[in-house]
């Protein structure tokens, strides 16, 4: 077993605690101002950037890093709120497609400035352009590794 040394442990703990608190803060800002959770907002954003603002549930689960079951419950709540709708995939009757509704798009338009303001205030503006590039490169490498391991 190769244990973490002091510097590695400091990097790991800083990452874990900071990302947890950052996500909590961003969630609280969205929930307080727009009555939407951070994870629900992220689903809506994923759909917004897709062609025709729709995608298969299985692909959305991968993109969100979620299980199909957990995402199904989450999308069900979003559907009840009128923010998304689910339809059968016309090309594969077993598949389900989730689409962003006009109400979901309207919520994104009002909530996005709050989210971007929070991301800037609590992360981006605290970092130099070089630090931003370093973080982006490091986590792209982590994401590539995890995609290969899970794929």
- Sketch the domain layout of the chain as residue ranges: 6-150
Model pLDDT for residues 54-112, shown as the tens digit of each residue = 999 989 998 998 888 999 999 999 999 999 999 998 887 778 999 999 999 999 999 99
Average pLDDT, whole number, for the chain? 95
User: 6-150: which CATH architecture?
Assistant: Orthogonal Bundle (1.10)
pTM for this prediction: 0.90
Over residues 125-141, the pLDDT tens digits come to: 999 999 999 999 999 99
Which residues lie closer than 8 Å to 116 by C-beta, 6 or more apart? none
Enumerate the β-bridge partners of residue 87: 97
């Amino acid at each position: 077993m190769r244990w973490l040394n002091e510097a590695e442990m400091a990097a790991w703990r800083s990452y874990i605690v900071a990302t947890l608190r950052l996500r909590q803060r961003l969630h609280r800002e969205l929930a307080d101002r727009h009555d939407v959770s951070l994870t629900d907002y992220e689903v809506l954003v994923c759909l917004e950037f897709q062609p025709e603002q729709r995608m298969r549930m299985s692909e959305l689960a991968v993109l969100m890093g979620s299980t199909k079951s957990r995402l199904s419950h989450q999308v069900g709540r979003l559907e009840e709120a009128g923010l998304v709708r689910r339809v059968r995939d016309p090309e594969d009757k077993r598949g389900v497609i989730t689409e962003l509704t006009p109400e979901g798009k309207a919520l994104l338009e009002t909530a996005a400035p709050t989210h971007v303001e929070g991301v800037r205030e609590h992360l981006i503006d605290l970092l130099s352009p070089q630090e931003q590039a370093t973080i982006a490169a490091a986590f792209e490498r982590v994401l590539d590794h995890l995609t290969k391991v899970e794929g």
